[in-house]
Amino acid sequence: MIEWVQTHETILWWLAATSAVTFIATLVVVPWLIVRIPEDYFRDPKRHRVPWADRHAVVRVILLIGKNLLACLLLVAGIAMLLLPGQGILTILVGVLLLNFPGKYKLERWLIRRRPVLRSVNWLRRRSGRVPLET
């Protein structure tokens, strides 16, 4: 095992650096995203339109592919962070929430309606001067 670590030292340093950067990014990006959710986003039983729905079809496809590629990258990074330093579960959760799949909005509504999750999200929103989420 020690020999393997010594021969792959560069890869392990890159993984550790990526994990540290992702850890810091999630500490900054997740609260930033949470406070930008409209307060009535989870109230409606149907999903809201995406902001780029009125754009040209090619732009919509490029944005959709880019968003899903970022989500896949976060999923892989989160899985790696389960073994490396970093917020693996949180990164996996962000990756899943960015992915497009059937039933995603229903999953988001179920998740946000869990009392500890809603309490934490609304705590972040209050600290930023935002109205609490309606569910």
pLDDT tens profile 3-35: 877 888 888 888 788 778 877 887 888 788 888
> What is the pLDDT averaged over residues 48-66?
83
In sign, the C-alpha dihedral spanning 80, 84, 88, 94 is: negative
> What is the pLDDT averaged over residues 83-107?
80
pTM of the model: 0.65
Residue 66 is predicted with a pLDDT of 93
Residue with the bigger pLDDT between 62 and 42: it is 62
- Residue 87 DSSP symbol: -
Select, from the ranges 17-21, 37-41, 65-69, 97-101, the one with the highest average predicted confidence (pLDDT): 65-69
CA distance 91 to 77: 7
CA distance 96 to 72: 8
